[in-house]
Each structure stands twice: as structure tokens, then as C-alpha cells.
Structure 1
Amino acid sequence: MVSQMEVGPSHSNTLTRRGPSSVASSSRHRRSSRHRRHEGYVSNEFPEFSHTGDVEILVKAGSRTNRYLLHRLILSQCSGFFEASTSQEWSRSGNEPRTGAELARIGEDLSSSEAGRNKEVKKRWRYELDPGADGDDIPMLVQKENTAVSLFGSNDGRPPTVRNKPQPPTSNPSFFRSVANLSLHVHEPPPPPISQQDQDLLTDYDNLFRIFYNHPPALNSIDIASAYVQCKSLLTLADQYDALAVVGPRIDHHLLQFQSRLWKQIAKYPSSYLKLGYLAQSKTIFQEALIHVVGAWPQGERHIRHQLPDAVLEIIEDKVEDLADMVGKVEGRLFRLTLMTSRGERVTPYNSHLDWLVVSLFRQWFSDSTAPPPPTPPPSSRAPPSRGSSSGHHSRQSTNTNTTLVPHPTTTVDHTSPNPSIGRTIRALGTTSSSTYLTHDECKKFLKLSPDQYSRDNLKRFERRVDELKGMAREIVRPLMRCALLGGAEANNVGYLTCTRVEERDFPWLE
């Protein structure tokens, strides 16, 4: 099990199993290990478990090949791909070579000693990275027919035959000088360098298997932009081998260490981090990105629809519709907002003309602030030149005189999406600062449009009544001013609403 593995010292990058607690036993084990290493013993450490590994994996990229000798049990627990490809169902389909025990059942003429030896042959699997037929194919591990040559130097699992080594001609001393001189001139050429793409591929596979064995992946912990690229590539590989449930928590833990820098990056690239949070099954990253995406909708809609599955799109559309409903109710209350006279009546031009001017100014400002940008003028459709035209000049004149307007084919109105400009307006209404909108200069300029109403006292009264309207509007927009972001400070730098509530049922991988 992965939980039974312990990470060794950081300088060794090894995995060891928990041994007995006896000090004497551990000291004997250390002495024995040193003695075996001194004799050329191959240690049983990650990534090659020489004694217990039963799955050989060769990952080749460019001129470099990484070899892993791992355990089927751990691979199948961490990856659905390895669980399926090493299962008995896969073996019965003819992809698994026959073991010695099966050969003993088929060949009745095998001797009892040979059959017994073959029964002890351990099943082993072998995978190699297939780059595909062309550059557009995704490299994928494929299972190869197992030959024990690559693992243990023999086709049948038996130890190789021991042969006497030929002795050098000791009577000729020049033989040793020839060998010495030859060794001085023979140098192995260094391997050619590999491309950055090949190096990234090797790193991704190494990180994948390191996570399977509870080793920390080699990810950038300083530059969050580089860490994002590495995490995205690793998650894509984990998705390819059905291992997101194991790799995702590691990615989540690594990125959350960036804290405030992570929140800033999510605010800048919400759609990208929404996909990453979905693949990593990170509630924190997914929630933070979802709030930004819903608030800024339909900005980035085309990119999101192309990158994310339908389950995530349905959640986004539901949240956008909920937010639009909330905004619609608040807008209705704000447009109906008014002042009352001292007798408790709604102000009108007849019972309080000055107060009615205050309400009119507020409604005009709110209407202008929340109005969507004007639509693009539709293109003109020019009529083709008449058949009877005899010259190009006459033809152009005919075209100009027969110009007609047609509707723009791409002009649509989305009634389910909140107006992008409403966010900035709501934030202005929700602030306690009196200088955000309808300032002293604006009130003075407006009141001067009615010379019979303008005076110093009327201006002071006008501004007091404006402040009353601002206070009532602040209470109306309070539900929309709630910030659901974990990086709350980032909400001050965006112009859209961040009040979307994300609940447990909104995480698609929990369904």
C-alpha cells in the first residue's frame, strides 16, 4: 500500500519500508546493507524495486530512456489504466503470456521437477511509451509481450547458466599493456541533448510515479506561472491514465502554498484555473475560479465552452442565471426608489418639486450607468449594379442610390446574463464614500439648470436629500456586495460581482 511507504532523506530520494523498532535489529540491518552494497548489490529503492517489482516501464523521449521497476499492486490502486491492463479480464483476452503453471497444465509430458519450477515463475508486466504514428498523436504507454530478458536476463525466469570465464594469456605481458592503452583511447560519446518538450514529458512521468509512491513531485515552488504550467501538464497526464483522484490532491496542496499569489493569478486567468481546479478536484481553486467566471460572464465564454465538459458548463449557466435574477430584483427596487414628503407622501413635481428633481437625477444617473454599450451599427447592404449600366461610374452611382439597411446577423440580446456594467454601478452604490457618484459639483451643475430653484440653501437641501437616496440604495444593494472569494482583497480590483455562493452540490466530481 502507498501508506506503508516512507520517504527517505531528501538527499537520497528513496523509499523504505517501516522496519522493526529494535535498535539492535536496525543496526544489524544497516551493517548488512553496507556489506551488500560493497559487494555490488543492487538496492531495492525507487524507481527500481529490484527484488519485489513486477512491472517494468520504459519511458523514452528523444535520446533518453527512464526505466522503472514498480509494483502492480500500487499502480493498480493509483491508476485505472494499470488496474484494467493488469487484470485477469485483460489476461483472458490473450494479452497476458502464459505462465509456467499454465504450460504445465497444457503439456502433460513435462517432468514433475520442471513443472514445479515453472509454477514458481512470477507474473511480470512490461510497458513501453509509444509515441504514435505522427506528431499529433499523444504518447501512451502500451503493454508489450513480457520477456524476462529485460528484467532478469533470462527468457524463462531461471538464473543464467554459469560459465567459466576465459583466462587471459598471463604469459604475454604485452596483452595487459594493449588493454590499458585501448581503454585510454576509447571514450563513449555523450548522449545528444534532448528538447525541452521531451524533458517535460520525462519529468511528467517521473512526477506521476513519484506521487504513486508518496514522493513529493518536482514542481516549481517559487514562480507560480511555471508551477501552473507544470501542474496542468501533470494533471493532463494523470487524466490520461485515470489517476486524477491520486494526483489531484498533490496539485491542490502544492498550489495552495502560494496563497495570495494564487488568488491574484485566479483573478487574472479564471477560466484556466477553473479547468485546473476541475481536473485536480480542488474545491478551493474551483470555487474561487467559478465565482470570477460567473461574475464576468459572458467574458471568456467561448474559451470556456471549448475547454470544459458539459457538467461544468451547466453549473456556470445555473449560477449566471441565479445572479441575473438577483440583479434584476435589485435593479427594480432601485428604479422604484423615491423620497417621501414630511406628510409621508411620495414626492411629485406638484408637492415637492425640489425633492422630485433629486429623484429624477438619481434615476437618470442609474439608468445611464447600467445601460449596455450601444450596439454596433448594422452593415449596409448595397444593391448590385443594374444590368443596363454601361460604365463602371454609372454602376457605382446606382449602387449608392439603392442602399438599404438589413439587421446584423450576429446581433443578439442575452437576457439570462447580468449586464457587465452593473457590477461597477452596484459597487458604487454600495460604498460609503459620498464622492463616488453624484458629487457636489454634479449636484450644483444640475440644479443650475433650473435658475428659479438654484440658491445656496436649496443646494444644501438638495445634497442632503441626495445623501438620503444614497443611504437607501446602499441597503438595497447590500446582498450583492457580499464577497464570496477566499482572496477577498482581490474583489476590490474587479468590476463585476463576486457574491456567487458555491455549495457542496456544485462540485461536479462529487456527483
Structure 2
Amino acid sequence: MVSYPDDNSSSSRSLSSRPARSSSIASSSRTSMSTVRRHHRHARSHAGGGGGGSSHLQNEFPLFFQTGDVEIVLASGKREQKYVLHRLYLSQASGFFEAGMSEEWSRSGLSGQQDASSNASTGSRRSNDGKRWRYELDWGKGAEDIPMLVQKPASDSIFGGNTPKPPPLRPKPPAASNGFFRSMANMTAINLPAQTADEPADETFKTYDNLFRIFYNYPPIMDSVNIANAYIECKTLLQLADMYDAIDIVGPRIDHHLLRFQGRLWKQIAKYPPSYLKLGYLARSKVIFQESLIHVVGQWPAGTGQLRGHVPQSVIDLIEDKVDELEETKSRVESKLWRLTLTTSRGERVTPHNSWLDWQMMSLWRQWFAENTTQNATPTSILKAPGPPPPLNTGRVFRKIGSAGSSYLGHDDVKKFLKISSELYSRDNVRRGERRLEELKNLARDAVKLLMRSYLELDLREGGLPYLLCTRMEERDWQLVFGDD
């Protein structure tokens, strides 16, 4: 049984109340944000995080006192981390902020039960120009509550005192769309540390800081040495981005950070394929997703418990389709192997009547193949004493067949087999039997070539894997899982 780093079922709470965003924002955000960033590039700073630089003259990340219009405060005990950012950046990167600072939501909050659509029909559209917003991190009342940014009245002091105050509302998410991250509700859970009076949730602060850094096109600050730590950081950041409907912006950054580990990443994926499949799906990383999928399909159903109920049904359907395709390919290959035969010098198929020794070699090969590919094979090997059959491992069996040579049924096996019949055992017959068996092995090697393909990035020279690695994602598969990009 394979173990996985995120097998903790208690951390698999569903995010059924995540904010949503319109599908048009996802397609236009990158272009719009790049335009805005060009205007602010001169003011950039690579300093992230809390309240450094409190001067009212500061106008760089994370405190744009001169041009910012959104104050965000993260507080825990005596610690406070503050950001003064821009509505435009936040709303283009996050559906949560887009909804919470929209004209429609502002009108709805100011007029109580007033219907926003009737205002729109009479041309009563109000501009957000000059407005200011404030968000504070609400830790919730219990350990099960997910920390969430809540909209509060804007602070006069931070913006100069002449700022209209929006209502102290906690934005409610609009109706969910059919976008990629809608299906993640049953997959992700925010594993931000529980808040206590004596122990500030440093990881929570760090994750929010990375989220805002990415919104402003800065690289997130994550472990670049220890891949196990990097996985946890990336997973937590992705889950936070999913909650704030910012996967389109955060996903590529996560993909870039993890791919920098190269060989260490491929080894880690081989150890924990279901975990990285979920992460690759959430980040929309085709490389990580395919690498993980190959392992998952090869070991299926070993990863069922880690994936069912934690990924969308479309991913489960894809896995099962790939498992079925692999089994069909194996069946076709096995059928070819069972039909393999040697021929005599006259081109006739070998039978007990025209070449008894050659037919015995064919029988030896088929007996070996049956015992290694049949789950309930009778444990009566003709080469050894009766005993329980070894665990079925067709990946290793087909790989032995694919390598041919002395990897299986070598010189000693031929000798033992021929000694069963004393009239057959001789030095010449052993040599002839080995030659004929080698011919049969070469035929078998050609028959299994299709199964010997590996689409992994992992370098297999350091050691083979016990399952088949020939699963491959096609274009139609990407469309099924990720939709049309």
C-alpha cells in the first residue's frame, strides 16, 4: 500500500462557499494587469509582507499610500500585517475582490433590500472612482472555521480622512459558473493553522503575503531547497487562491516554482502520485498532472481512497478510462504472446511430432508466462517445489519480457528443466535449448514493445517501477479535464 503526504482526512473540508467570478475575467485579466503594471513598474519593490515603511510617502508594495484604495489588515494578537493595494489589481486577479468591490454589490449594501437591477434599468449607475475599501481577516469562532477576509468600513487615517465608507459587509459569493475551479469545491480544503492567543498563525500570514505578491507579479517566497516543504507551501497557497477565485493567476506561479526542482520533483511524484495529481490539477499544470497520472493509472486502484471525493468526477472518469485502455492494450499483447511459436528449418510450426526439444522449450516459456501473469495460477512450477505463487506484478513481468536476454529463464533454468527427462538431458541439448529459447524471447520482446514505452520525466536508470508507464494524455483528454484553454 502506498502512503501519501496528505492522507489526513480531517483536512479535507469542502469549500462550498467560495466566491465566484465571471468567466470573462479569467480570459482578460492577464492582458489588463500587464497594462496596469507598466504604469507602476517604477514604484516596484521586492520587499513583501507586513507593515514596513509606514511613511505616508511610501508608494510601493505592500503599502501604496499615495495611489492605493484598498486597505487589508491581518491581525493576530500583537502582530499586525497591513497592505494598501489597488482595487484594479485585486479585482482583476480575484473573483472575490471583483464581486466585493463591484458597483452592484456596493449599491446592494447601501440600499438594503433595494433591487440593483432596477437601478441599472433606470440608468442609475454609480462609479467606484474615489471610493476606498478595507478588509480584515476574520479568524472565525471555532477551529473548524476557515479564516476569511471580511469587508469593513474604510479607515480615514490611512487614506487622508475624506473617504466615503462602504458598509461593513462580508461579501456573499454570486452564483457559481462552470469554470475550471468550480469543480474544486470537493477537492480542496484550507489547511491554514488554527489561531490561538499565544501563537500567531505565521503560515497564514505568509500564505496571504504570497497571494498578494503574485497579484503584483512578484515571485512568491517559498522553499526552493526542501521539496517536501515546498509541496506544503504550494498546496496551501493554491487552496487559498481557490477560495479567493484566483487560480488563474496563482496556478502558473506554483507550476514554475515546483518545476525548478526537476529530478527531485519527479522522484517525489513517484512516491506520492495522488497528492501531486490533485495539486497538478488545481494548478492546471499539464506536466505535473501527466507525470502523476501515469503513476496513478499504473498502480490503480491503489490511489482510490486518496482521490475519490477529493477530485472532480471528470478526473476519476479520466483515470478509469486510462486504466481500461491500458488493460485492453495488455490483453492484445498477451494474446500475441500466447500465440508465439517457433518454426523448423523447413518453416513449419514446431509441434511435438516434428521437433520435440523445441516444443519443450516453447512449453517452458509458456509455463513461465502463465505463472507470472495469472493471479490464480496453480503453484506447481515445473522448475521448483510447489509453493504459494508470488504476488501478481505484470509491470515487472512485461519489463522482463521486454529486456529479453538472461533477465528470465536463463542457463540454469534450462538445465533444471531438461534434467526432468533424463533422455533429453545432454550438453548439446542444453545449448540447443538455450538458442531456441532465446529466439522465442526475442519474438516476445517485439510483441511487448507497445507496453515498454514510458512517458515519465523520471529517469528510470536508477531503478525500474513495478507497473506499466505507457499512459499518455491526448488533446481530447486535456479538454475533458481542463476544458478549452
Query: Smaller-chain TM-score range?
Result: 0.7 to 0.9
Alignment correspondent of 1:204: 207
- Residue 286 of structure 2 is aligned with which of 283, 287, 290? 283
Partner residue in 2 for 1:402: none
Matches within 5 A, 1:232-271: 232-271=235-274
Counterpart Cα distance in 2 of 1:72 and 1:121: 10
Match of 1:151 in 2: 158
1:489 equivalent among 460, 465, 473? 460
Deviations 1:85-130 (A, max 9, x none): 1112212322589xxxxxxxxxxxxxxxxxxxxx998211221112
The residue identity in structure 2 corresponding to 1:82 is F
The one-letter code matched in structure 2 to 1:152 is F
Tell me if the contact between 2:452 and 2:468 (Cα under 8 Å) persists in the aligned partners: yes
Pairing 1:57–2:28 present: no
1:297–1:320: 8 Å Cα contact kept in structure 2? yes
Instruction: State the alpha-carbon separation in 2 of the partners of residues 299 and 247 from structure 1.
Output: 30
TM-score normalized by structure 2? 0.74
Please name the residue that 2:400 is paired with.
428
Distance 1:374 1:233, change over 3 A: farther
After superposition, the C-alpha distances for 1:431-473 in whole angstroms (9 at most, x for unaligned) are: 14x2210010011001111111111111111111100010000
Please give the per-residue CA displacement for 1:304-361, whole angstroms capped at 9, x wherever unaligned: 2132211111111111111111011001111111111223222222222111111111
**Which residue of structure 2 aligns with residue 45 of structure 1?**
60
- In 2, the alpha carbon distance for the partners of 1:220 and 1:8 equals 27
Question: CA 1:473–1:374 in structure 2 vs 1: closer, same or farther (change >3 Å)?
Answer: closer
| Contact in 2 for aligned 1:148/1:157 (Cα 8 Å) | no
Contact 2:46–2:61, Cα closer than 8 Å, also in 1 = no
Between the aligned partners of 2:164 and 2:140, the Cα distance in structure 1 is 31
| 475, 480, 484: which one aligns with 2:446 | 475
Equivalent pair of 2:131/2:164 in contact (CA under 8 Å)? no
Matched length: 388
Counterpart secondary structure, 1:435: helix
1 CA distance for matches of 2:374 and 2:455?
Answer: 26
Aligned partner of 1:356: which letter?
W
Whether the aligned pair in 1 keeps the contact of 2:215 and 2:249 (CA below 8 Å) is yes
Q: What is the CA–CA distance in structure 1 between the aligned matches of 2:354 and 2:69, rounded to whole Å?
A: 92
Separation in 2, partners of 1:120, 1:477: 66
Q: 1:265 to 1:8 in 2, by over 3 A?
A: farther
State the structure with bigger RCO (CA 8 A, min sep 6), 1 or 2.
Answer: 2
Partner of 1:189: none
Secondary structure of 1:340's counterpart equals coil
For the residues of structure 2 that align with 1:120 and 1:279, how far apart are their CA atoms?
Answer: 33
Residue 136 of structure 1 pairs with residue 144 of structure 2:
yes
Alignment partner of 1:127 is 2:135: yes
2: CA distance, partners of 1:67 / 1:374? 68
Question: What SS does the corresponding residue of 2:309 show, helix, strand or coil?
Answer: helix
Alpha-carbon distance in 1 for matches of 2:255, 2:128:
43
Structure 2 counterpart of 1:195, which letter? E
Provide the C-alpha distance between the structure 1 equivalents of 2:99 and 2:292, rounded to a whole number of angstroms.
34
SS of equivalent to 1:59: strand
Residue 66 of structure 1 is matched in structure 2 by: 81
Counterparts of 2:348 and 2:331, CA distance in 1:
26
- Which is greater in Rg? 1
C-alpha change, 1:11 and 1:53, in structure 2 (3 Å) is closer
Match of 1:195 among 193, 199, 210: 199
Cα separation, 2, equivalents of 1:13 and 1:7: 16
For residues 122 and 225 of structure 1, the distance between their equivalents in structure 2, rounded to whole angstroms, comes to 45
Query: What letter matches 2:471 in structure 1?
Result: T
Q: Which residue of 1 aligns with 2:19?
A: none
Partner-residue secondary structure (3-state), 1:142:
strand
Counterpart among 397, 406, 410 of residue 439 in structure 1: 410
How many angstroms apart in 1 are the aligned matches of 2:333 and 2:445? 11
Residue 57 of structure 1 aligns to a residue whose secondary structure is strand
Whether contact under 8 Å (1:64, 1:194) holds in the other structure is no
Aligned to 1:6: 41
The root-mean-square deviation of aligned C-alpha atoms, in Å, is: 2.8
Deviations 1:11-55 (A, max 9, x none): 7569xxxxxxxxxxxxxxxxxxxxxx9x96531111111111111
Q: Specify the code of the residue in structure 2 equivalent to 1:59.
A: L
Structure 2 unaligned blocks of 5 or more: 1-32, 113-126, 166-195, 379-390
TM superposition shift of 1:510 = 3.0
Contact 1:224–1:262 (CA<8 Å) still a contact in 2?
Answer: yes
Q: Identity of paired residues, percent?
A: 54
Deviation of the 1:491 alpha carbon? 8.4
- Residues of 1 paired with 2:234 and 2:461: CA distance? 23
1:332 is matched with which residue?
335
- Equivalent residue, structure 1, for 2:361: 358
Residues 41 and 237 (structure 1), Cα distance of their counterparts in 2 relative to 1, 3 Å cut: closer
Are the equivalent residues in 1 in contact too, given 2:43–2:59 (CA < 8 A)?
no
Confirm or deny: 8 A CA contact 1:80 1:241 kept in the other structure: yes
Separation (CA, whole Å) in 2 of partners of 1:40 and 1:299: 57
Amino acid at match of 2:72: I
Matched, 1:81 2:89: no
1:455 aligns with 2:426: yes
CA shift in 2, pair 1:367/1:40, >3 Å: closer
Deviation for aligned residue 1:296: 1.4
Letter of the aligned partner of 1:201 in structure 2?
Answer: T
Aligned mates of 2:368, 2:236 — CA distance in 1: 49
Letter matched to residue 238 of structure 1:
A
Counterpart code for 2:98: E
Change (3 A) 1:226 1:130: same
**Distance change (3 Å), C-alpha of 1:96 and 1:320:** farther
**Secondary structure of residue in 2 paired with 1:298:** coil
With over 3 angstroms needed to count, the CA separation of the structure-2 counterparts of 1:236 and 1:120, relative to structure 1, is: closer
Structure 1 unpaired stretches of 5+: 15-36, 98-118, 159-191, 376-418
In structure 2, the residue corresponding to 1:499 is in which secondary structure?
A: coil
Q: Deviations over 1:112-169 (max 9, x none)?
A: xxxxxxx99821122111222311111111222x2443533647569xxxxxxxxxxx
Structure-1 separation of matches of 2:104 and 2:317: 36
Give the C-alpha shift of residue 8 in structure 1.
7.2
1:483–1:491 contact (8 Å) kept in structure 2: no
